[in-house]
């Protein structure tokens, strides 16, 4: 695939760039910083050189005389962070760009060793608006939005090896779990929670491990940037609110690959979860890239009313419901109506599989594909919707 311009904006100071494998971090950095000094810790020779003596970074930086230094997969050698910190403190004009596909070792080793000298940026899978005319909703629901996958002639072959790569390189090699078989069963079991309230006890029963083990596995998935949870919106709640967050794999294609299917599985059930997950990953990327401080939530009362997503921030409240169907019924609007009753200031939107733009009372009904194509950082929802 040709280089696609991304929405992410890089600061002038040193920064961390996190993102799952295959999200395009290295490709985009080489496009933006072609003359930088690059150190790739996935290269065995480079890894051995700096793992043995992290202080060699000082020699390389001073010897190369390049002001921008990119360190790929920084989590492989977290002991190099104090050396980076030391060089930044010398204030000789160096900018360090530290990429990572796992936050686990850095959390243990103290990513704060840089003392706030480096900010954080996140590289997500593509957004539809980044792809422009190349975006296809059906194609994205099938293979996802990972640059690594979209750039291949046989994308499903890449998805087949993607989970195995993480299990082998990040989970097994690093010794994150004792029983890799149990973790593999967990990856499948938790896929049934994609787009649904997460109940760790039910997942534990399904994959035949203890609840604490499942909680540990969930933490590993999040540290490897393979999944995320959407918390419940409960600000000034007027009803009893459910406390279970919703779970999502970070990419629709990864979910489709890990989700087992058989004669008892309805195709529309899997497709509905994939569509909701695709919207979730777009909204998550939007919140990360937009400067107005939106936070992503879901909303669910104990009485059964629910809304898939709530964007909340200083600029307002946007409640979003996602339906795969092309024909809407009154019941499809019930959750948004309940939310609007509790939060009259909210703007309410229903995304569906049809093409028509309709206004049902206070609820704007939009084509899901059109919404995704138009979603971009700094968008003015009041004018765009």
Specify the pLDDT at position 236.
Answer: 84
pLDDT of 116 strictly over 60: yes
Distance CA 94, CA 14 (A): 8
pLDDT of 175 strictly over 80: no
106 falls in which pLDDT band (50, 70, 90)? confident
Mean pLDDT of the chain: 90
Specify the pLDDT at position 381.
Answer: 86
For the chain, give the longest Cα–Cα distance. Answer: 69
Average of per-residue pLDDT across 55-67: 93
Domain ranges of the chain: 15-122, 128-227+246-263, 281-384
Average of per-residue pLDDT across 28-41: 95
* CATH number belonging to the domain at 281-384, selected among 2.60.40, 3.40.1350, 2.40.50, 3.40.50: 3.40.1350
The closest alpha carbon to 9, from 120, 85, 95, belongs to 120
Q: What is the pTM of this model?
A: 0.93
Least confident of 21-35, 112-126, 266-280, 320-334: 112-126
The answer to whether the 15-122 and 281-384 domains have the same CATH topology is no
Specify the pLDDT at position 263.
Answer: 64
Q: Which residue has the tokens 């600029």?
A: 315
The answer to whether the beta carbons of residues 57 and 80 sit under 8 Å apart is yes
Specify the pLDDT at position 119.
Answer: 87
104 falls in which pLDDT band (50, 70, 90)? confident
Identify the residue with better confidence: 368 or 383.
Answer: 368
% the chain with pLDDT above 70: 94
- Measured over the CA atoms of residue 352, residue 203, residue 312 and residue 292, the dihedral's sign is negative
pLDDT of 55 strictly over 80: yes
Cα→Cα distances 227→17, 35, 104, 223, 284, Å: 17, 34, 14, 8, 11
Specify the pLDDT at position 124.
Answer: 96
Give the list of residues 6+ apart from residue 39 with CB closer than 8 angstroms, or none.
46, 50, 57, 60, 69, 70, 71, 72
Within 13 Å and on the Cβ side, how many CA atoms surround 282?
29
Specify the pLDDT at position 204.
Answer: 93
Specify the pLDDT at position 174.
Answer: 66
**Fold designation for 15-122:** Rossmann fold (3.40.50)
The answer to whether the beta carbons of residues 97 and 70 sit under 8 Å apart is yes
Average of per-residue pLDDT across 349-363: 95
Within 13 Å and on the Cβ side, how many CA atoms surround 200?
14
| 3-class SS of residue 104 | helix
pLDDT of 304 strictly over 90: no
Q: Mind listing the pLDDT tens digit for each residue in 179-230? A: 888 888 899 999 999 999 999 999 999 988 999 999 999 998 998 899 999 9
261 falls in which pLDDT band (50, 70, 90)? confident
Specify the pLDDT at position 264.
Answer: 60
Distance CA 88, CA 94 (A): 7
Least confident of 112-116, 141-145, 148-152, 240-244: 112-116
Specify the pLDDT at position 295.
Answer: 97
Distance CA 333, CA 381 (A): 20
The answer to whether the beta carbons of residues 15 and 121 sit under 8 Å apart is yes
Tokens of 251: 């990419």
% the chain with pLDDT above 90: 72
Specify the pLDDT at position 385.
Answer: 83
24 falls in which pLDDT band (50, 70, 90)? very high
The closest alpha carbon to 82, from 128, 126, 115, 113, belongs to 113
Average of per-residue pLDDT across 34-60: 95
Specify the pLDDT at position 109.
Answer: 59
Specify the pLDDT at position 29.
Answer: 95
19 falls in which pLDDT band (50, 70, 90)? very high
């Amino acid at each position: 695939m040709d280089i696609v311009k991304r929405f992410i904006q890089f600061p002038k100071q040193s920064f961390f760039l996190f993102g799952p494998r295959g999200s395009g971090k290295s490709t985009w950095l080489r496009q933006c910083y072609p003359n930088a000094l690059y150190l790739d810790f996935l290269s065995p020779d480079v890894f051995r050189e700096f793992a043995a003596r992290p202080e060699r970074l000082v020699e390389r930086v001073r010897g190369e005389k390049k002001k921008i230094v990119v360190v790929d997969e920084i989590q492989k050698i977290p002991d190099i962070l104090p050396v980076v910190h030391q060089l930044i403190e010398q204030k000789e004009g160096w900018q360090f760009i530290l990429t990572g596909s796992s936050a686990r070792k850095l959390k243990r080793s103290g990513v704060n060793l840089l003392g706030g000298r480096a900010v954080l940026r996140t590289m997500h899978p593509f957004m539809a608006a980044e792809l422009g005319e190349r975006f296809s909703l059906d194609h994205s629901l099938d293979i996802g939005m990972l640059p690594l996958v979209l750039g291949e002639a046989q994308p499903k072959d890449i998805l087949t090896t993607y989970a195995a790569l993480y299990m082998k390189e990040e989970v097994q090699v690093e010794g994150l779990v004792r029983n890799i078989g149990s973790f593999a069963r967990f990856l499948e079991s938790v896929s049934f929670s994609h787009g649904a309230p997460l109940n760790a006890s039910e997942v534990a029963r399904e994959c035949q491990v203890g609840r604490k083990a499942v909680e540990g596995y969930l933490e590993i998935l999040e540290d490897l940037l393979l999944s995320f949870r959407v918390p419940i919106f409960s600000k000034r709640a007027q009803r009893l609110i459910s406390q279970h967050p919703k779970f999502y794999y970070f990419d629709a294609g990864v979910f489709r690959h890990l989700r087992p299917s058989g004669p008892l599985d309805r195709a529309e059930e899997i497709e509905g979860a994939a569509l909701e997950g695709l919207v979730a990953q777009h909204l998550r990327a939007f919140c990360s890239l937009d400067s107005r401080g939106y936070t992503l939530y879901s909303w669910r009362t104990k009485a059964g009313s629910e809304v898939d997503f709530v964007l909340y921030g200083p600029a307002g409240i946007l409640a979003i419901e996602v339906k795969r169907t092309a024909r809407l019924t009154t019941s499809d609007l019930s959750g948004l109506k309940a939310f609007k009753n509790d939060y009259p200031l909210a703007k309410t939107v229903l995304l569906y599989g049809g093409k028509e733009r309709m206004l049902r009372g206070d609820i704007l009904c939009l084509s899901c594909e059109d919404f995704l194509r138009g979603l971009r950082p700094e968008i003015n929802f009041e004018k765009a919707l």
